[in-house]
Amino acid sequence: MRNVSLPLRDPMPGRWLSSLAYLDRAPELWKCARRVRDWWPTTRAYPQLGETKYPFDFRTHSGLEIELRDFSEVATAWVVFCRDEYVVPPKAKTIVDLGANYGAFTLLAAAQAPRARIVSL
């Protein structure tokens, strides 16, 4: 009987290698860890490291809760809550969210400008 060792194969080598490109996003990872309660599933799902079971609950430390149903919803939550691409002035009186998708920005706006009138389509 011959001892044969087979090389270990990563079922997703391209994804693991491409995830190294996310290292320059360390500030976003830090923000996610500070803002999201169970930050690890989101941090893992965004660069698609391994398999993500959907849906999963996305909860911020400030009390917002969203059920993320697929990768596009993870990407939206990441951009809104971890990347700071949206700025909401706390004294805003009216906020319009056109193309609100599942409402991640609307929830952020409501939390950051609680007295604003928000129109979400």
Contact 121, 100 (CB under 8 A): yes
How confident is the model over 107-119, as a mean pLDDT? 95
Tokens of 80: 């809104």
Burial (CB < 10 A; 0-12, 13-18, 19+), residue 36, is buried
Query: What is the value of pTM for the model shown?
Result: 0.75
pLDDT in tens, 4-48: 444 444 455 555 555 556 667 788 888 999 999 989 889 889 888
Q: Grade residue 49 by pLDDT with cuts at 50, 70 and 90.
A: confident
Contact 58, 82 (CB under 8 A): no
Tokens of 13: 């080598």
pLDDT more than 90, % of the chain: 57
Burial code (b: 16+ CB inside 10 Å, e: under 16) for 96-109 equals: ebeebeebbbbbbb
**64 Rama sector, left if φ>0, alpha if ψ -120 to 50, beta otherwise:** beta
